[in-house]
A and B are shown apart, each in its own frame.
Chain A
């Protein structure tokens, strides 16, 4: 059974600081890994998706890396802003078959960026 763990559970940083969020998974047979953002009481917004054959993806101030063999991913946020305050969730997809989009999520890291 796949298990996804995110460390730390919560993080508070001053504005402008660079930060790293960690995600680990127990079964390396994944199809892809995604990082999501969730604002309080809201749905999920996909930030970055890394295929199992890729090592990293970048979007603006965000960079996600994937080391499938060791079961780890990191999300790097550069020059953090108060608007980045949210919960960040890591999720792995197991299969690539038609209609097989099941994701296993971690519990998330709650990020607070202090002005």
Chain B
């Protein structure tokens, strides 16, 4: 049991809408990363937050944004949804000084 939870499990949106996905990290984990996994592909790094600030970003446009809160929960926001945003979104949390990242079960987003 990793202790990382994500909500919702599934959701369906239409093109152009906005969506917020949530991740609750393990207690004390001060780093959270978000990944997008399209069907049949490996996860792609979106961005990472460390102590509530973004400190790394993959090749994703600005309409992908995030927040990390003092209690180490976090959000991924996606504006102006496109059909290609349909994917499994994974968050992973970790504690500085360790190598282990704990992945949540993911949120399956479908954009119609």
Interface residues of A (CB under 8 A from B): 4, 32, 36, 41-46, 49, 51, 89, 91, 93, 98-108
Indicate if B8 sits at the interface (CB-CB under 8 A). no
Q: Which residues of the other chain, B, contact A98 by a CB distance below 8 angstroms?
A: 50, 96
How many residue pairs link A and B with beta carbons under 8 A? The number is 69
Interface residues of B (CB under 8 A from A): 4, 30-31, 33, 35, 40-45, 48, 50-51, 55-56, 58, 88, 90, 92, 94, 96, 99-101, 103-106, 108
Distance, CA A45 to CA B33, complexed state (A): 15
Contacts A49-B100, A99-B50, A99-B96 given: A42-B41 contact, CB under 8 Å?
A: no
Q: Per a CB cutoff under 8 Å, which of B41, B45, B48 touches A104? A: B45
Q: Which residues of the other chain, B, contact A45 by a CB distance below 8 angstroms?
A: 103
Distance, CA A36 to CA B56, complexed state (A): 22
Main secondary structure of the interface of A (DSSP, over half): strand
CB pair A103–B103 under 8 Å, yes or no, is no
Contacts A32-B99, A108-B42 given: A102-B48 contact, CB under 8 Å?
A: yes
Q: Which residues of the other chain, B, contact A104 by a CB distance below 8 angstroms?
A: 45
The minimal Cβ–Cβ distance linking A9 to chain B, given in whole angstroms, is 9
CB pair A42–B105 under 8 Å, yes or no, is yes
Q: Which residues of the other chain, B, contact A4 by a CB distance below 8 angstroms?
A: 42
Contacts A44-B103, A104-B45, A107-B41 given: A99-B51 contact, CB under 8 Å?
A: yes
Distance, CA A86 to CA B54, complexed state (A): 33
The minimal Cβ–Cβ distance linking A74 to chain B, given in whole angstroms, is 17
Distance, CA A45 to CA B50, complexed state (A): 22
Q: Per a CB cutoff under 8 Å, which of B33, B51, B105, B106 touches A102? A: B33
**Closest residue on chain B to residue A51 by CB atoms:** B99
CB pair A101–B43 under 8 Å, yes or no, is no
Q: Per a CB cutoff under 8 Å, which of A32, A42, A44, A93 touches B43? A: A44
Distance, CA A108 to CA B92, complexed state (A): 18
The minimal Cβ–Cβ distance linking B82 to chain A, given in whole angstroms, is 22
The minimal Cβ–Cβ distance linking B46 to chain A, given in whole angstroms, is 10
Which 7 residue pairs spanning A and B have beta carbons closest together?
A99-B50, A105-B42, A44-B103, A43-B105, A43-B103, A107-B42, A99-B31
